[in-house]
């Protein structure tokens, strides 16, 4: 029997897809018998109830009065080294190069005992941060000092190589969803709270940052609503919220758009939608489109980054050039007017999510990477 491992995981516990993927991966590895130690500043938001084999170590920041900016990164590196020693970790798996991979490198230097580190790149750490010349060398150092580096799409591997001149190997590990959680939920009774029976539901879920192009979401909806009765449900919160509210008011769409705020049970909420809109400027993968896909909801979006690796144009959704809201609206209308095509797309979505982005397969890919860096065949 292959040896069970002790794995430390660090991620942004309260934020976005990278935190979700890291937490779900930890839960799945724990189910497979590995011992998982989350080392983060707060409890990962998807961790939920008690799980066998999972432990949480809180990073406390030292706010000694001379510090104008309390040094979270140094506290994290010390905590990583402390947990690695106490728990005799085999591997530290960090999600995000900055600062987590840099902290892991520091922890490794402190330990000097062969602790292995794996870094998963999620996108923003490369496509946004690596544009900053002052951070480039630091990100490059973090990548080169990791024993293995993975990225969540082919596009992100390509971008990492292009922006940072990285030539060392990067493993492809697509995002995944747990098929026991993500499946089409029965939402008939909930749906009536948001839409009349003859109305279609369009949905967008994100952190409302500029890269998500949330105003495009409203423009697409506006065009669709001129042709067919529809509602737009917006899930999430973020910096573009006020701008969105203004635009909705100016367009007279207040009665057709509902803000649902942040939602815990994404599978339940997504199951309300007829289509998901994802017109992002940048998107290394687009986890939300996979969550929708697994719940049988096609995505209409942009050809940004890794989205085309996930959404098959004309089979599980439709893709247009970034900013081409007229084309995206046309796709929504065509799909929602044709019930046979919509049902075909829904079935293709579930099939693709289950087979191509299956939690079991991707968890085993990560496991293989851990065994490889540890030299265990």
Considering the rule CB under 6 A, would residue 213 count as an interface residue with ligand GMT?
no
Considering the rule CB under 6 A, would residue 365 count as an interface residue with ligand GMT?
no
Considering the rule CB under 6 A, would residue 143 count as an interface residue with ligand GMT?
no
Considering the rule CB under 6 A, would residue 329 count as an interface residue with ligand GMT?
no
Give least dist CB 263 to ligand GMT, A. Answer: 16
Q: Are 229 and 196 in contact (CB under 8 A)?
A: yes
Cα dihedral 250, 252, 253, 254, rounded to 10, equals 90
Q: Are 122 and 95 in contact (CB under 8 A)?
A: yes
Give least dist CB 219 to ligand GMT, A. Answer: 20
β-bridge partners, 231 = 201
Interacting residue with ligand GMT among 40, 124, 271, 363 (CB under 6 A): 124
Interacting residue with ligand GMT among 80, 211, 297, 349 (CB under 6 A): 211
Considering the rule CB under 6 A, would residue 122 count as an interface residue with ligand GMT?
yes
Does 99 sit behind a cis peptide bond, omega within 30 degrees of 0 on the bond before it? yes
Nearer to ligand GMT, 256 or 284 (CB): 284
- Please name the residues in contact with 78: beta carbons below 8 A apart, sequence gap of 6 or more: 107, 110
Stretch that binds ligand GMT, among 27-35, 133-141, 206-214, 243-251 (CB under 6 A): 206-214
Nearer to ligand GMT, 284 or 330 (CB): 284
Give least dist CB 120 to ligand GMT, A. Answer: 8
How many alpha carbons lie under 13 Å from residue 135 in its C-beta half-sphere?
A: 16
Give least dist CB 121 to ligand GMT, A. Answer: 9
β-bridge partners, 276 = 203, 299
Considering the rule CB under 6 A, would residue 207 count as an interface residue with ligand GMT?
yes
Which DSSP letter does residue 147 get? S
State phi, psi for 192 to the nearest 5 degrees.
Answer: -65, -20
Q: How many CB atoms lie within 10 A of CB 347?
A: 12
Considering the rule CB under 6 A, would residue 282 count as an interface residue with ligand GMT?
yes
Stretch that binds ligand GMT, among 14-22, 110-118, 318-326, 345-353 (CB under 6 A): 14-22
Q: Rounded to an integer, what distance in angstroms lies between the CA atom of residue 84 and that of residue 108?
A: 9
Give least dist CB 288 to ligand GMT, A. Answer: 7
Considering the rule CB under 6 A, would residue 105 count as an interface residue with ligand GMT?
no
Considering the rule CB under 6 A, would residue 285 count as an interface residue with ligand GMT?
yes
Q: Rounded to an integer, what distance in angstroms lies between the CA atom of residue 60 and that of residue 40?
A: 9
Interacting residue with ligand GMT among 284, 302, 359, 363 (CB under 6 A): 284
Nearer to ligand GMT, 23 or 117 (CB): 23
Q: Rounded to an integer, what distance in angstroms lies between the CA atom of residue 217 and that of residue 219?
A: 6
Stretch that binds ligand GMT, among 15-23, 42-50, 107-115, 320-328 (CB under 6 A): 15-23
Give least dist CB 340 to ligand GMT, A. Answer: 31
Considering the rule CB under 6 A, would residue 279 count as an interface residue with ligand GMT?
no
Considering the rule CB under 6 A, would residue 256 count as an interface residue with ligand GMT?
no
Considering the rule CB under 6 A, would residue 363 count as an interface residue with ligand GMT?
no
Site for ligand GMT in 174-203 (CB under 6 A): 175
Closest to 175 in 3D by CA, of 276, 92, 100, 285: 285
Give least dist CB 33 to ligand GMT, A. Answer: 25
Query: What sign has the CA pseudo-torsion 308, 314, 317, 321?
Result: positive
Q: Are 77 and 51 in contact (CB under 8 A)?
A: no
Q: Rounded to an integer, what distance in angstroms lies between the CA atom of residue 121 and that of residue 109?
A: 21
DSSP per-residue string spanning 225-249: HHHS-EEEEEEE--TTHHHHHHHHH
Binding site for ligand GMT (CB under 6 A): 16-18, 21, 122-124, 127, 152, 175, 207, 209, 211, 282-287
């Amino acid at each position: 029997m292959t040896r069970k491992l002790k794995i430390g995981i660090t991620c942004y516990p309260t934020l976005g897809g990278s935190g979700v993927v890291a937490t779900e991966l930890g839960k799945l590895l724990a189910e497979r018998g590995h011992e998982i130690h989350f080392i983060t500043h707060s409890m990962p938001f998807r961790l939920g109830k008690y799980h066998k084999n999972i432990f949480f170590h809180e990073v406390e920041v030292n706010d000694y009065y001379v510090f104008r900016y309390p040094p979270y990164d140094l506290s994290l590196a010390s905590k990583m080294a402390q947990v690695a020693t106490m728990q005799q970790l085999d591997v530290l798996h960090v999600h995000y190069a900055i600062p987590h991979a840099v902290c892991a490198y520091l922890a490794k230097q402190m330990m000097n005992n062969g602790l292995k580190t794996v870094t998963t790149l999620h996108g923003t750490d490369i496509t946004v941060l690596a544009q900053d010349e002052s951070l480039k060398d630091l990100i490059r150092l973090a990548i080169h000092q990791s024993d293995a580096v993975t990225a969540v799409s082919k596009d992100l591997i390509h971008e990492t190589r292009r922006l940072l001149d990285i030539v060392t190997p990067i493993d492809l590990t697509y995002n995944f969803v747990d098929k026991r959680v993500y499946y089409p939920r029965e939402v008939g009774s909930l749906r009536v709270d948001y839409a009349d029976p003859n109305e279609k539901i369009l949905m967008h879920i994100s952190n409302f940052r500029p890269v998500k192009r949330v105003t495009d979401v409203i423009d697409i909806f506006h065009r669709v609503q001129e042709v067919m009765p529809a509602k737009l449900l917006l899930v999430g919160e973020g910096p573009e919220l006020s701008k969105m509210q203004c635009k909705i008011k100016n367009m007279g769409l207040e009665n057709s758009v509902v803000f649902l705020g942040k939602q815990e049970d994404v599978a339940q909420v997504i199951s309300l939608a007829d289509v998901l809109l994802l017109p992002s400027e940048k998107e290394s993968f687009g986890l939300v489109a996979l969550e929708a896909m697994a719940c049988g909801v096609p995505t209409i979006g942009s050809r940004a980054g890794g989205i085309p690796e996930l959404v098959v144009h004309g089979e599980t959704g439709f893709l247009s050039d970034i900013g081409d809201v007229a084309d995206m609206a046309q796709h929504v209308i065509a799909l929602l007017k044709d019930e046979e095509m919509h049902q075909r797309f829904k079935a293709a979505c579930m099939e693709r999510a289950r087979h191509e982005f299956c939690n079991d397969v991707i968890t085993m890919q990560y496991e293989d990477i851990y065994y490889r860096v540890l030299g265990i065949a």
